[in-house]
Amino acid sequence: MKISQIRFAKLAVPLITPFKTAMRTVNNIEDVVVLVETACGQIGYGAAPATPVITGDTHGSIIYAIEHLIKPQIVGMEIENINQILQRIHGSMINNNSAKAAVEIAIYDLWGKWLDKPLYQALGGGATQLKTDVTISVDGIDKMLQDSQRAIQQGFDILKIKIGKDIHMDIERVKAIYQAVGKQVQLRLDVNQGWTAKQTVFALEQLDQSGVQLELIEQPVPANDIAGMRYVTQHVSTPVMADESAFSPKQVIELIQTGAADIINIKLMKTAGLSHAIKIADIASVYNVECMIGCMLEGSIGVAAAAHLASAKASIINKIDLDGPALGQFDPVQGGVDFNGATITLSDGPGLGIDSIEQLQPLVNGVWV
């Protein structure tokens, strides 16, 4: 199964409600779709969203990196030599993790097709159903309470609360949500780098004194403030999860060895695809450190790959935060992984199991058509 061509398309899905974090507000899921074609007529699907404030990647940079640096390295290679293909992808340039991730996802999709196995089975096997939490965007308290109630009615029993705007308001937000629904559901807090280390310790003390119980707190301090992460981890009893601080396997080793985080959030757009995500899961399991699988605000192609990985590595990836596709008004991807509220169901089709994708806008001679 020889790689013959790589093409691009755009896929846009409007959100049910705007997605708001401490960093940004977004109205659409918009991915660059990467179609890796083979001489025998197969297509491997990969995708990546633009996340300039997290990974530094934009749609333009993703397309340029793949077209001019990755594609020349891997066209003509046979899918059965997957390790060599992955090495070439990672050797093509530094950084540009989302571009590498999109291509890797398509390569693993083709590898599953070549093996004639769904990807989760090719990676070692696992369950076909996963349960995800749901994101509650940061907003006024009334709106966050409404969104929390609606999520519970929709069957979610873990809420990931986005905060990190103003610490005193944030404390009030969490207290109010815990009071309203904290006995029914588990709460995860995602501060998205919004606080300092001392503010985080202060906030968690306040919440603790109010009887608020949290499953975990995610990335309270800026990504590069590892000393701050360590300070928080050592001064609070709530488990601390690294997200924006944890991109590469090496960073994860350092976070774990220095006691800077209790849990690692793995996202394919940070790890540059599946191969390094697998390494991180294996490293974490050596240290008995739990992992979450997360995603960006992205559609169901990239998130399907994350779901397959989570299934195969379920013994260490035991927290699922893959609500991206379910936040869209519809899913244009047919076959593949089904995202239905809290329930994620993997199909048994080969690779990612994708049959077809509606509403793809191909890129032809530099223009979306």
Which are the catalytic amino acids? 162, 267
Amino acid letter for position 13: V
Q: How many residues comprise the chain?
A: 369
Question: Which residue from 170, 243, 323, 331 is in contact with Mg ion, where contact means CB under 5 A?
Answer: 243
Give me 178's structure tokens: 């815990």
Looking at the Cβ atoms of 70 and 295, the one nearer to Mg ion is: 295
Kindly indicate which of the ranges 168-176, 183-191, 230-238, 278-286 contains the residues binding Mg ion, using the contact rule CB under 5 A.
Answer: 183-191
Pair type for strands 333-335 and 338-340: unpaired
Can you tell me the distance from the alpha carbon of 166 to that of 171, in angstroms, rounded to the nearest whole number? 9
DSSP-assigned states of every residue in 109-150: HHHHHHHTSBHHHHTT---SEEE--EEE----HHHHHHHHHH
Kindly indicate which of the ranges 143-151, 235-243, 282-290, 337-345 contains the residues binding Mg ion, using the contact rule CB under 5 A.
Answer: 235-243
Instruction: Supply the DSSP symbol for 329.
Output: S
Binders of Mg ion in range 66-95 (CB under 5 A): none
Residues 280-309, one symbol each (x = binds Mg ion by CB under 5 A, - = not), give ------------------------------
> Do 269 and 296 contact (CB within 8 A), yes or no?
yes
Nearest distance from C-beta of residue 54 to Mg ion, angstroms: 9
Kindly indicate which of the ranges 110-118, 164-172, 242-250, 266-274 contains the residues binding Mg ion, using the contact rule CB under 5 A.
Answer: 242-250
Residue of 177, 170, 185 whose CA lies nearest to 215? 185
Instruction: Supply the DSSP symbol for 259.
Output: T
Residue of 48, 45, 40 whose CA lies nearest to 3? 40
Kindly indicate which of the ranges 12-20, 100-108, 243-251, 331-339 contains the residues binding Mg ion, using the contact rule CB under 5 A.
Answer: 243-251
**Neighbour-count burial for 10-23, b at 16+ CB within 10 Å, e otherwise:** bbebebeeebbbbb
Binders of Mg ion in range 204-223 (CB under 5 A): 218
Kindly indicate which of the ranges 44-52, 184-192, 199-207, 304-312 contains the residues binding Mg ion, using the contact rule CB under 5 A.
Answer: 184-192
Nearest distance from C-beta of residue 326 to Mg ion, angstroms: 17
Nearest distance from C-beta of residue 192 to Mg ion, angstroms: 6
323 binds Mg ion, rule: CB under 5 A:
no
Looking at the Cβ atoms of 96 and 219, the one nearer to Mg ion is: 219
> Do 329 and 359 contact (CB within 8 A), yes or no?
no
Can you tell me the distance from the alpha carbon of 295 to that of 303, in angstroms, rounded to the nearest whole number? 6
> Do 205 and 228 contact (CB within 8 A), yes or no?
no
Can you tell me the distance from the alpha carbon of 65 to that of 96, in angstroms, rounded to the nearest whole number? 7
Looking at the Cβ atoms of 89 and 255, the one nearer to Mg ion is: 255
Looking at the Cβ atoms of 109 and 218, the one nearer to Mg ion is: 218
Number of residues binding to Mg ion, judged by CB under 5 A:
3
Nearest distance from C-beta of residue 299 to Mg ion, angstroms: 18
Question: Which residue from 133, 190, 215, 323 is in contact with Mg ion, where contact means CB under 5 A?
Answer: 190
Tell me the residue nearest to Mg ion as measured from the CB.
Answer: 243
Backbone angles phi, psi at 246, to 5 degrees: -120, 95
Nearest distance from C-beta of residue 302 to Mg ion, angstroms: 16
Nearest distance from C-beta of residue 67 to Mg ion, angstroms: 30
Can you tell me the distance from the alpha carbon of 168 to that of 272, in angstroms, rounded to the nearest whole number? 36
Looking at the Cβ atoms of 192 and 311, the one nearer to Mg ion is: 192
List contacts with Mg ion (CB under 5 A).
Answer: 190, 218, 243
